[in-house]
Amino acid sequence: MNGVELRNVTKAYAGLTVMENINLQIADGDFLVLLGPSGCGKSTLLNMIAGLEPTTGGSIHINGRDVTGLEPDERDIAMVFQSYALYPTMSVRRNIGFGLKMRGMAKGEIEKRVAEVGELLQITPLLDRKPSQLSGGQQQRVAIGRALVREPSVFLFDEPLSNLDAKLRADMRIELKRLHERLGRTIVYVTHDQIEAMTLATKVVVLDKGSIQQVDTPENVYRRPANRFVASFVGAPTMNFIDGKLTHDGDDIVFDSGSGCLPLINVPAEIRDLIGRPMTLGARPEHMVFDDAGISSRVLLAEPTGPDQYVRLAVAGSELTARSGPEQIFKSGSDARILVDGARMTLFDPQSGQALLGS
């Protein structure tokens, strides 16, 4: 298969296993994002694909070739790091072309490729500057240029935007997405930033403590989290979790937390099979609906963000966050009625944390 494949990859540092039996297929042309909290093993996984870190067990295949024992420069990959690691004494032009020169490529071909990459990244006017004469975003572009110029079949990025300020990060995100759409090359991209993952990825791999939690499209990772870890890691403000059980209230189904019953609307038929079983209800702030048919709650605080406001509520023995439009006024201490959109909520097994039904 073209693309990248990890088969039963294991990694231990000094006898301590940090990743076990990782199996992953990255299709040719995918923009695959490895997402997870600090220390979950993202860089370790990427470095094993790059050949910078040996695997302890299993094998890695790039475009159908077993590269497990090969050096980084034999793997047809190029990597971009968080630190740009540009050569300070060399011009941008030489920084970008240096790798090609080391491989003995003809001068004319190097010049042609550097010029093309310069155009693509819109850094042609900067080619004769030194790195110290560039902004952070421009330096990052040069680092990307150095990877592009090698024309590898797979690009590996380790948190490449983390050193940039928020505005520049958003701009570079768009550029990276365009670049991927234009080049169609396989990208494996590491980040702890869920917004980057959601906006860039064709496929997201959520990692926790060295193990894969879910491999899915960004939409599905958000809408159909496989377990409670994924549900809480992705989405801000975070999903609300309430322990309790589904029960009947006349013809309706409600969620009983033990201290109050949350009314549900749009309840899918399959949910009837789960009535009475202990579980955790997961509802994102936008799955909470202000409605006169809802349960009474007390407004603790309203947090306007511009287009929306997030309203913190004391309800059914819990503190929950609900999203509202900007117009309505929520005074602290006042009463608001709230219910849950049953079509979009997720239900979790309280012990394993696994999602019980997709929603």
Phi, psi of 114 (to 5 degrees): -60, -40
- According to the binding rule CB under 5 A, does residue 82 interact with Mg ion? no
| Residue 22: CB minimum distance to Mg ion, A | 16
Residue in the block written with tokens 């990825």: 201
Q: Which is nearer to Mg ion, 100 or 143 (CB)?
A: 143
Q: Which is nearer to ligand ADP, 191 or 297 (CB)?
A: 191
Number of residues that bind Mg ion (CB under 5 A): 1
* Tally of CB atoms within 10 A around 87: 12
Q: Which is nearer to ligand ADP, 100 or 201 (CB)?
A: 201
Q: How far is Cα 231 from Cα 239, in angstroms, rounded to an integer?
A: 7
Residues from 173 through 192 that contact ligand ADP (CB under 6 A): none
| Residue 148: CB minimum distance to ligand ADP, A | 23
| Residue 44: CB minimum distance to ligand ADP, A | 3
| Residue 76: CB minimum distance to Mg ion, A | 23
Binding partner selected for residue 351 from Mg ion, ligand ADP, none, CB under the kind-specific 5 to 8 Å limit: none
Q: Which is nearer to ligand ADP, 21 or 247 (CB)?
A: 21
171 close to 13: Cβ distance less than 8 angstroms: no
Report the DSSP beta bridge partners of residue 354.
Answer: 227
Q: Which is nearer to Mg ion, 12 or 174 (CB)?
A: 12
Number of residues that bind ligand ADP (CB under 6 A): 10
Residues from 6 through 65 that contact ligand ADP (CB under 6 A): 13, 18, 36, 38-44
| Residue 135: CB minimum distance to ligand ADP, A | 26
- According to the binding rule CB under 6 A, does residue 160 interact with ligand ADP? no
* Tally of CB atoms within 10 A around 26: 24
Closest residue by Cα to residue 153 from 248, 27, 11: 27
| Residue 224: CB minimum distance to ligand ADP, A | 24
Q: Which long-range contacts (CB under 8 A, 24 or more apart) does 17-22 make?
A: 17/56, 17/210, 18/44, 18/210, 19/44, 19/45, 19/210, 19/211, 20/210, 20/211, 21/58, 22/58, 22/211, 22/212
CA angle, residues 175, 181, 186, in degrees to nearest 5: 100
Residue 292, token pair as written in the block: 């006169």
b/e code 244-260 from CB counts within 10 Å (16+ = b): bbbeeeeeebbbbbeeb
Binding partner selected for residue 13 from ligand ADP, Mg ion, none, CB under the kind-specific 5 to 8 Å limit: ligand ADP
Report helix angle 107-120 to 92-102, nearest 10: 130
- According to the binding rule CB under 5 A, does residue 43 interact with Mg ion? yes
Alpha helices in 121-165 (DSSP H): 136-148
Q: Which is nearer to ligand ADP, 18 or 168 (CB)?
A: 18
- According to the binding rule CB under 6 A, does residue 205 interact with ligand ADP? no
Q: Which is nearer to ligand ADP, 43 or 359 (CB)?
A: 43
Q: Which residues bind ligand ADP (CB under 6 A)?
A: 13, 18, 36, 38-44
Q: Which residues bind Mg ion (CB under 5 A)?
A: 43
